Amino acid sequence: MKQLLLILFFGSFISCNKGFSEKEKQEYMVKGNEIAQASFNELSTNLMTQMKAGGPAKAIPFCKDEALNILDELSKKHNAIVKRSSDQLRSCKIEPKERELEVIEAYKQSKENGEELLPIVEIDLENKKHFYAPIIVQAKCLTCHGKVNETMTVKTDSIIKSIYPFDIATGYSEGDVRGVWSITFN
């Protein structure tokens, strides 16, 4: 019985990776990178427009109402599921998958070891292709994800806590791993 299960397990593994050639993998890598970059630009441009118009008091509610809609639009446009995932969430609408948490943990480990954080392309047991890339904290993110009383004001923190009472997405420094882009191709 044990042997049969092993054969089934490895059998499905091999058949899954069949047809996923190096060339195809590279194509998904390019596509994934393009989508992640375009999505980052879209969110960032919108966020910065709001910040200029009214600072965090305007940009935070905007993120709450629009971040997921913007990602939905991007998903439709690119014929893929475009998602941001994190192990320290602000939005309660994001459900991190086990694999995403593993990838985040691996990126954090790589960062600690001083290694380069490279995007990942892989295929799952249902033959779905996935792309992951790290989301790194930049200086401009600290306004809303930084350390309270250091890089983030108490006022901004209180606006965030009033909208997101369970927020744990603060305390970051520049260069930290904030989460991952998790793109599933249709």
Question: Residues in the site for ligand HEC, rule: CB under 6 A?
Answer: 44, 47, 51, 56, 59-60, 63-64, 67-68, 84, 86, 89-91, 94, 135, 137-138, 140-141, 143-145, 169, 178-179
Question: From the CB of 156, what's the least distance to ligand HEC, in Å?
Answer: 7
Query: For residues 60 and 121, which CB has a smaller minimum distance to ligand HEC in the complex?
Result: 60
Pick between residue 35 and residue 123 the one whose CB is nearest to ligand HEC.
Answer: 35
CB-wise, 133 or 169, nearer to ligand HEC? 169
Q: What are phi and psi of 134, to 5 degrees?
A: -70, 145
- Torsional class of 19: left (φ above 0), alpha (ψ -120 to 50), beta (otherwise): left
Nearer to ligand HEC, 100 or 123 (CB): 100
Cβ pair 132, 86 in contact under 8 A: no
Nearest in space to 90 (alpha carbons), one of 6, 172, 8: 172
Query: Minimum Å distance from CB 152 to ligand HEC?
Result: 9
Cβ atoms of residues 168 and 89 within 8 Å: yes
